[in-house]
Amino acid sequence: MILLNPRKLSRQYADGRSLEVMARTVEFFEKKGKKRLKEDAHDRVWYADFLKFVKDEKIFATLLTPPNYGGADARWDSFRNVDFSEILGFYGLSYWYTWQVTTLGLGPIWMSRNEEAKRRAAQLLENGEVFAFGLSERQHGADIYSSEMTLTPQPDGSYIANGEKYYIGNANVAPMVSTFGKMADSGDYVFFAADSGRPNYELLDNVTASQNYVAAFALRDYPLSEADILSTGREAWDSALNTVNICKFNLGAASIGIATHAFYEAINHAANRRLYGMHVTDFPHVKQMFTDAYARLAAMKLFTLRAADYMRAASSNDRRYLLYNSVVKMKVTTQGEEVVDLLWNVIAAKGFEKNMYFESAAMDIRALPKLEGTVHVNIALILKFMTNYFFNPTEYASIGQRSEAANDDYLFQQGPAKGMGDILFHDYNVAYGDWDLPNVNLFREQTAVFSEMLTAAPPDEDQSRDTDFLLTVGEIFTLVAYGQLILESARIDDVPADIVDQIFDFFVRDFSKFALQLYSKRGCSPEQGAYCLKMIRKPAVDDERYERVWRDYVHALAGSYEMNA
């Protein structure tokens, strides 16, 4: 079973506590029921019941506390955290969001050398508190070069903070808000912990219309001691970037959860609805849309699970996860939008009804590619890895599924956030060569043409400054890395060949789409255009495989899950 079904939690964990966390979380939401879930969303009810559940069950304390600071089952374990993120997304983005910004708020704390702050954070997690990440500002967004939050040293060794932060989740209740700024005298970067409950911490506004509190807040002559300082200088800068790299990985899992729940609602509705004397699911175009939605959703899940393995295996000599994380943030989240759009085209007006989870999904799925800033930010990052990925492969020890009950220590000890252009990758051809399937082979042919173009007709100096041109190049490169990890994941999880070939049916189509887009760019040279046309392929048609996928994996999901009323 690739897709999450809350009725049949199928992931195997190395300890009993992990499954208990997932099962208890599912139980909380199913007991709450869809009617109440939707009413709370429409009325923008602060999710106090969920936070009480987290506190009573010590959920965040278990999942987010390193073992040296927490209980016997406490650890930061990306294998199980990805599952928890997916479950929260499955039931509602607001519940996921309070978890997400808690992870971000904890990042600079666990990366710091401030043992007192770490012990305080661990106790607050044990007490059921949530955390916040005070990075972005109204005028500059997440451009941390331009931060206007300042910390002024005082003669007695204390500090005074002044400035405003904007779009900061949990900042209305977090007792530790990891806040980024600059030293007023030296201009050095600094991370410090502010407390939303103290004087001189002023909530200005809730800037979104949702169940969340996404704050604009100000520090007005806010006093701090040395105990509140998390990091300074280069360490503060690195903490900001590394925290984003680690924690915004959760965006992909949330997108998978939302799209999965939407899929169940859509297939249940369509399979039980008759129009013009036939079931909606018997219409050829509906079968195609559902099959595409399923294949894209399965691909999202397989890639994200495999990317988590590389996070857990990361070290100072192996930082491949930085590419795969960026692909999760960009590709998985935009694919979530595409899945929901396909489903919406089937259920049409039903998707607007207030009692449908789908009504929330259609709105929430749009947020995830944008919570990272914008998609083009991640494509620009992904392009930094392209040359080494294609042309400088190296050998690494094989990485299997990393499901062990261990803390992901390296993620919080990784040091400088630089040198991405120096990161090397294993040969992507190994994963592609491990599958002899018609559409996988077609995709390999397309990839070979693209690689040849990068050698014979690479982007020139003008094209390298043309963001519009490079974004499409980045989309094509992303597809190659995306497919590689999907194939690795499919082998680990024994995914049937029919599903893999159906996934690569849309891969071939998407590659052709981006090749045509690149060909159509004003700056595309005649030589590059010739390569683009050679990349365009039609997927291998196999009616029997298509029907098996539809019957055994797609339509078979009708009636398999419906949320409690």
The whole-number pLDDT of residue 277 equals 85
Burial of 82 (0-12, 13-18, 19+ CB in 10 A): buried
Task: Tell which wins on pLDDT, 209 or 260.
Answer: 260
Listed in sequence order, the DSSP H helices in 184-320 are: 233-247, 250-271, 284-312
The whole-number pLDDT of residue 373 equals 57
Three-class SS of residue 2?
Answer: coil
Q: What is the tens place of the pLDDT at every residue in 189-244?
A: 999 999 999 999 999 999 999 999 999 999 999 999 999 999 999 999 999 999 99
pTM: 0.96
Q: Could you give the CA distance from residue 401 to residue 4 in angstroms, rounded to a whole number?
A: 18
Sign of CA dihedral 177, 180, 183, 189: positive
The whole-number pLDDT of residue 516 equals 98
Intra-chain end-to-end CA distance of the chain, in Å: 25
The whole-number pLDDT of residue 236 equals 96
The whole-number pLDDT of residue 274 equals 86
In whole numbers, what is the pLDDT of the chain averaged over residues? 96
Of 357, 342, 121, 380, give the one whose Cα is nearest residue 230: 121
Other C-beta atoms closer than 10 Å to the C-beta of 61 total 23
CA 324 and chain centroid, separation = 10
User: Which domains are delineated in the chain?
Assistant: 16-126 (1.10.540), 132-232 (2.40.110.10), 248-396+420-556 (1.20.140.10)
Instruction: Assign 275 a pLDDT band (cuts: 50, 70, 90).
Output: confident
Instruction: Assign 376 a pLDDT band (cuts: 50, 70, 90).
Output: confident
> Percent of the chain, pLDDT > 70?
99
Instruction: Assign 372 a pLDDT band (cuts: 50, 70, 90).
Output: low
Other C-beta atoms closer than 10 Å to the C-beta of 99 total 25
DSSP state, residue 555? G
DSSP state, residue 550? I
The whole-number pLDDT of residue 537 equals 97
Q: Could you give the CA distance from residue 389 to residue 376 in angstroms, rounded to a whole number?
A: 19
Mean pLDDT of 516-541: 97
Q: What is the tens place of the pLDDT at every residue in 117-166?
A: 999 999 999 999 999 999 999 888 777 878 899 999 999 999 999 999 99
